[in-house]
Structure 1
Amino acid sequence: MKYTDLNGKTAAELQGMLKEKKIELFTLKIKQKMMQLTNTSELRTAKKDIARINTAMNAVK
C-alpha cells in the first residue's frame, strides 16, 4: 500500500482500513508467539501500513 492510494479516501474509509490493519497485526503477533508465522516481514509491513493510514487521517482532518 502506498500513501498515494490513501490520499483520496474519506475519514470513515480510513478508519475502517485502520481497524482491519490493527486486527491483522494482532493476528500476526499471535501467530509469531505460537511459532506459526513463517514470514516475519509481514509484521513490519503491517506496522508501516498502519503508520501510513494514520498519516493520511491526520492530513484529512
Structure 2
Amino acid sequence: MRVVRNDARARPWLKALLARRPFKVAAVAQANKTARIIWALLNKGGTYRRPDPLTAAAAV
C-alpha cells in the first residue's frame, strides 16, 4: 500500500482513493476488495486472472 503512491503500475482506483481518503481507509478498501475476489473464486471455482491494466483504466 505504501508503494502505491509512487508506483506508476499501481491501480488507478487505488491511487485515486488514497488521494481522497486516509491511508487506513484505503487499506481496508483494498482488503475488502481482495476478500470479495477470493470469496467469489472459492464459491464459483476458478483461477484468478489479473485484469489487463489498459482495459481496467478504460473502464474507469
Q: State TM-score, norm by structure 2.
A: 0.44
More contact order relative to length (CA 8 Å, sep ≥ 6): 1
Q: State TM-score, norm by structure 1.
A: 0.44
Q: More helix per residue: 1 or 2?
A: 1
